[in-house]
Amino acid sequence: MIEIRDLVKTFHPGSVNEVLALAGINLRVKNGYFITVIGSNGAGKSTLLNCLAGSYAIDSGHIQIGEQDLSYWPEHRRASLISRVFQDPLLGTCAALSLEQNLALANRRGCRHGLGRGVRRVDRELFRQQLQQLGLGLEDRLRDPVGLLSGGQRQALTLLMATLIRPQVLLLDEHTAALDPKTAQQVLELTVKLIAEQQLTALMVTHNMRQALQLGNRLIMLHGGRIILDVGEAEKAAMSIEDLLQKFYTVRGEEFVSDRMMLV
């Protein structure tokens, strides 16, 4: 269970560039819920994810996962509860290290990294099995540097790494946006599969409204740093993209015509 209360984040406070990115977010997510997050550019979607993961320090408010209040935990400490996949496929993996070394790091997420062997023999077998389910033939390339993989392969690997140890919360920040349509679809299918298998609690930011409606069992829309729409499973299933846009305009008025771009 994630509980977010009155989350506020301002960029460049006190300067002419001051931006109120999150203007008091309140959100409760039950365990096992897969939420899709939409909103126009600058709505605060990525900021919300970054505040959850700890990349950005929050101004005020509370973030709680289960019983633990992690509002002021540093990013690396939150990694014991939260894992994430970035939009940039290069960010989630380390190019200089081999596949098995990357997986070994992920296999110790939130644990101590001591002077024991980085990749043990028992790990290798586990990694091979895990890679096999991707169906990309990566199980035979355990010792190849990750830098040799394509963007899609790296993103699939990042997903695997994010779920190798079951996270309390999985954050996906437009993680298919930088991939070609076919690869994006594969990575998305893998995402859905992993979330279903492990019954993960997940937040997925997307710009694709169809995706946002099809996937998950709850949808929230952000605008101006606030949640302006929160749709449950049943209501979401009955919604079309036009309905969603209509909702958006009634809540915000007609001033954001450019947001029709989100349709694409």
Partner 1 sequence: MSYFAFMGALEQGFAYGFLVLGVYLTFRVLDFPDLTVDGSLPLGAAVYAVAISAGINPYLSLFLAMLAGFAAGAVTGILNTRFGILHLLASILTMIALYSINLRVMGRPNMTLLGKPTVLDPLTNAGIGLFNAAPLLFGLLSIVGLLLLLWLLQTAFGLCMQATGANPQMITSQGVATSRVIILTVGLSNSFAALSGALLCQSQGAADVNMGVGTIVAGLASVILGETLFGCRSVGRALLAALLGSVVYRLAIALALGLKLGQFSVTPSDLNLLTALLVVAALSLPGLRRKVLRR
Contacts with partner 1 by CB under 8 A lie at 53, 74-77, 79-80, 83-84, 86, 90-97, 101, 104-106, 108-111, 113-119, 161
* Beta-sheet strand order (sheet of 226-231): 82-85, 169-173, 202-205, 34-38, 218-223, 226-231
Which burial class, exposed, middle or buried, applies to 96 when counting CB atoms under 10 A from its CB (0-12, 13-18, 19+)? exposed
Smaller CB separation from partner 1, 92 or 225: 92
Smaller CB separation from partner 1, 49 or 262: 49
Task: Give the separation between CA 155 and CA 68, rounded to whole angstroms.
Answer: 30
Task: Give the separation between CA 145 and CA 167, rounded to whole angstroms.
Answer: 26
Neighbour count for residue 29 (Cβ, 10 Å): 19
Amino acid residing at 97: L
Beta strands 34-38 and 218-223, pairing class: parallel
**CB 144 to partner 1: min, Å:** 12
Neighbour count for residue 195 (Cβ, 10 Å): 21
DSSP H or E run through 17: none
Q: What are residue 222's DSSP bridge partners?
A: 227
Smaller CB separation from partner 1, 172 or 221: 172
Is the torsion defined by CA of 156, 199, 193, 55 positive or negative?
Answer: negative
**CB 93 to partner 1: min, Å:** 6
Smaller CB separation from partner 1, 171 or 213: 171
- The span from the first CA to the last CA of the chain, in angstroms, equals 33
**CB 57 to partner 1: min, Å:** 14
**CB 84 to partner 1: min, Å:** 6
**CB 187 to partner 1: min, Å:** 17
**CB 154 to partner 1: min, Å:** 11
Smaller CB separation from partner 1, 111 or 263: 111
**CB 42 to partner 1: min, Å:** 22
- Local structure of residue 229 (DSSP, 8 states): E
- Could you give the angle at which helices 99-106 and 151-164 cross, rounded to 10 degrees? 30
Smaller CB separation from partner 1, 75 or 230: 75
**CB 172 to partner 1: min, Å:** 13
Smaller CB separation from partner 1, 119 or 200: 119
* Beta-sheet strand order (sheet of 60-65): 19-29, 2-11, 60-65, 68-69
Smaller CB separation from partner 1, 113 or 182: 113
